[in-house]
Structure formats: structure tokens, C-alpha cells
Amino acid sequence: MRDRLTLAPAVISVACALSALTVFAAEPHRTIDASRALDAGPLKAPSSDIVLTATPADPAPLIERNQWVFDLRWDRGDVWLLEVRPLALPAPQATPRVMGRFALELFEGPALFERVRFDFPLLGALDTADGGWASAPSLTQKLRTRIGVVFPATRRGTRLELVDRATSRRWLVPWPPDASPDAGALSQPTDAGDAR
């Protein structure tokens, strides 16, 4: 009796495998008609929320021991360069890569050479709300805030720009920087295309 019980599962599995083979053998041989596939027209890309922009990718980070600290102020929608001072690090350091609404971009001719992204403290995304009953009032209209942005002190580069990615505004920043310029608003190019 024990021999019959141990053989039963083996017989059942062999029977299942044979029945599966007979089913596959009974089906007709199928092929793909390539002419029908080509007549269907071009493949359509799936819809997505990805938007391609003309903004170049961040270049490889520079590794420098000497850095510049740009003291920038946001004052009710205007950007001011208060001071630029040198900073010597104990060892060479690569430029960190972070996300931010603003960026300092160094160009060498038309090519982007370095980018440092940052955000002004307390300055959120653009708010188009009216500040009435339906939405909270916007604080950015009267906001005054300040940040120090560390940028590598490289000898390369021909033009430095501060970019507001939310509004596509660009300001020219003195390059190479003076040790301490007078406080003043940054000059904004009349057309973003003229700056390049």
C-alpha cells in the first residue's frame, strides 16, 4: 500500500506533463505577419508629463580649494549683490549639486561651465493667488531675505549669470568678482538671448 501511495504523485505529475504537451501540439503554428505590423503606422509615444527644455544639464562639478561667497539679497522682487568675499577651504572640494529655484551659472563662451543652484530663505514657489478668501496671502511681495552662495574660484569662465528658473529672468554678475563691490542691483539683460 505504501508503494502505491508514493508512486501516485509521480504518476499524476507525468500525466499532467503529457496532457500539456498534447495541448501545445494540437495548436496551429502561429507566425507574425510583418507587413501588417508595418501598415499599422508609426508607433505613438505614450503620453507623459515629462517636458523637454533647452536648459542644459549640470556640468561636471569643479573641484577647488578656493571659493567665492556671493552675499545676495532678495528685496521685494529685486536681487541685490551685497558683497563678494574669498573663502579658503582646508582641502579641495567638489561643488555640491542640489535643486533650487535660483542658480549661478558660469559660461565659457556659449558653453555652460559650472552651475550652483540655491534658494533664498522663505521664498517659496511663485504664488498667483489673490490673497482673498479662497487662498492665503502671498508673503513674497514684501519679503526681504539674504543668502551666501559659495561658488568655486576658478580662473576659467567669461560670464556669470544669476538665473531665476521660475520667471526665466537672468542677471549679469561681475566675473571675475571684485573683493567687495558696492551694494547694488544686478544688471538684467534686456533679452535672455542677448546675454549669450
Question: Residue 169: helix, strand or coil by DSSP?
Answer: strand
User: What contacts 141, CB < 8 A, 6 or more positions away?
Assistant: 76, 77
Q: What is the pLDDT of residues 90-132, one digit of tens each?
A: 999 998 888 899 999 999 999 999 999 999 988 765 555 555 5
Local structure of residue 187 (DSSP, 8 states): B
In the structure, what pLDDT confidence band is assigned to residue 196 with cuts at 50, 70 and 90?
Answer: very low
pLDDT at residue 142, as a whole number:
76
As a whole number, the mean pLDDT across the chain is 76
Buried b or exposed e, range 158-169, using 16+ CB within 10 angstroms: ebbbbbbeeeee
Total-model pTM: 0.61
Residues 159 and 105: beta-carbon distance below 8 Å: no
